[in-house]
């Protein structure tokens, strides 16, 4: 376990760090026009964050002790296909529906 003083020091330093990262864009560049090349790259930030958050939970979930579960992989593939055809919300709903439907099917069989 981490010492209480070290915990609060780390928490404060991380808070300052995240503030400075956000302020670098909002404070320094807030009233300026950004170059086209930067705007092009910023368009893909949100798209790249979502898979980075989902992939570890899909391939090495804590619920199974880090073992890959075929139901999660199948639901992820269905969510990906739905996202390509429908939208992000459609992908989330399709993935959730596939996960719970396959989990129910596995339980019944």
Task: Enter the pTM of the model.
Answer: 0.60
Task: Note the pLDDT of residue 38.
Answer: 86
101 vs 4, 19, 61, CA distance in Å?
A: 44, 42, 18
Query: What pLDDT is recorded for position 9?
Result: 97
Which pLDDT belongs to residue 91?
A: 92
Please give the average pLDDT of every successive group of 10 residues along the chain, which has 109 residues: 92 96 81 86 86 88 89 94 92 95 94
Map out the domains of the chain as residue ranges: 1-32, 37-108
Distance CA 51, CA 81 (A): 13
Cβ neighbours, 10 Å, residue 81: 14
């Amino acid at each position: 376990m981490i010492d209480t003083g070290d915990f609060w020091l780390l928490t404060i330093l991380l808070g300052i760090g995240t503030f400075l990262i956000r302020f670098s864009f909002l404070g320094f560049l807030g009233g300026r026009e950004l170059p086209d090349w930067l705007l092009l790259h910023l368009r893909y930030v949100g798209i790249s964050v979502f898979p980075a958050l989902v992939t570890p939970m899909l391939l090495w979930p804590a619920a199974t002790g880090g073992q890959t579960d075929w139901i999660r992989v199948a639901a992820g593939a269905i969510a990906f296909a739905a996202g390509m055809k429908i939208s992000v919300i459609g992908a989330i709903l399709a993935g959730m529906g596939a996960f719970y439907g396959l989990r129910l099917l596995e339980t019944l069989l």
